[in-house]
Structure 1
Amino acid sequence: MRNFFKAFVRDERGVSAMEYAILAGIVVVALTAVGTQFNTGMGTLFTNLFNNIQAASKP
């Protein structure tokens, strides 16, 4: 049993796949953060635009 665990720890097959999975996870987190900030900024932009148009159209 001990030999199995030693061999398992030393086995480097699949390491590249794990590295790609970690990298993909980091990319997803970064894109989510950027997307959230972009969405908030665009919402504020359109709200301000709508409010300015409403204010300008009042007599």
Structure 2
Amino acid sequence: MLKSLITRFVNDERGVTAIEYGVIGVAIAVVIGAVMTGDTGLAAAIGDSFDGILDAISGVNTAAGV
């Protein structure tokens, strides 16, 4: 009886897919976190782009006398 219980437990794969999806989700979160943080990350590039847009708008407003 104990042997059959252990055999069924070892052969049961119902939760394996959920665990695999959890591991994939954690891996994706780590990659996104690595890309978004730091001075050379995506967040810095987006911030630099917005700073450039702000400078361009400020330049147009200054030239227009606003």
Shorter-chain TM-score above 0.5: yes
- Whole-Å separation in 2 of the counterparts to 1:22 and 1:33: 17
> Is there any run of 5+ residues in structure 1 with no aligned partner, and where?
47-59
> Is there any run of 5+ residues in structure 2 with no aligned partner, and where?
49-66
Higher relative contact order (CA 8 A, sep 6+): 2
TM-score scaled by structure 2?
Answer: 0.51
Q: Is 1:5–2:2 an aligned residue pair?
A: no
TM-score scaled by structure 1?
Answer: 0.56
Q: Percent sequence identity over matched residues? A: 33
Q: Which runs of 4+ in 1 moved over 3 A?
A: none
In the alignment, which residue of structure 2 is the partner of 1:55? Answer: none
Amino acid at match of 1:7: R
- Aligned-pair CA distance for 1:3: 2.3
Question: How many residue pairs were aligned?
Answer: 44
> Superposition RMSD on alpha carbons, in Å?
2.6
